[in-house]
Amino acid sequence: MNQEINNGAVRLLREFTGRGPTKARSVIDHNSVMILLADTLTPGERRLIEAGKGDHVLKTRHEFQKVMRDDLVKLVEGAIDREVIAFMSANHIDPDYAVEVFVLKPLGQEA
């Protein structure tokens, strides 16, 4: 399951941003899934950061994450066969990390 989530998240980021992260690690807990991604920024984003536009890069990344939300949720739900009830996402510039967090519907609750 972890590898399916990791590969899928890298693929989706590459499709949406033109470049996927070089590292991905997912952690599946009782009621959550976290994907930690490293080396996510594109060369263009790195140039913007060097030019003092890091806030712009973070805002753009946030917009990508909102647009990717449904695809990421579908990926996690398909991999673990559980419903996602909440999704949160954030990026950090230096060092270059991103995190996608999914809260799962507790087991035993009706759909």
Query: Average model confidence (pLDDT) for the chain?
Result: 95
Q: In 3D, which of 65, 69, 66, 72 has the Cα closest to residue 4?
A: 72
**Contact (CB, 8 A) for 98 and 37:** yes
Residues 29, 39: Cα–Cα separation, whole Å: 24
**Contact (CB, 8 A) for 90 and 37:** no
The number of domains in the chain is 1
Q: What is the mean pLDDT of residues 93-105?
A: 97
Q: Is residue 85 part of a domain?
A: yes
**pLDDT score of 107 more than 90:** no
Q: Is residue 80 part of a domain?
A: yes
Q: Is residue 92 part of a domain?
A: yes
Q: Is residue 77 part of a domain?
A: yes
Structure confidence at residue 110 as a pLDDT band (50, 70, 90): low
Q: Is residue 109 part of a domain?
A: no
Q: Is residue 111 part of a domain?
A: no
- What pTM, to 2 d.p., does this model score? 0.91
Higher pLDDT, 55 or 108: 55
Q: What is the pLDDT of residues 55-77, one digit of tens each?
A: 999 999 999 999 999 999 999 99
Strand order in the sheet with 97-104: 23-28, 32-38, 97-104, 84-92
**pLDDT score of 111 more than 90:** no
Q: What is the mean pLDDT of residues 23-38?
A: 97
Q: What is the mean pLDDT of residues 35-61?
A: 97
Q: What is the mean pLDDT of residues 76-105?
A: 97
Domain span at 16: 2-104
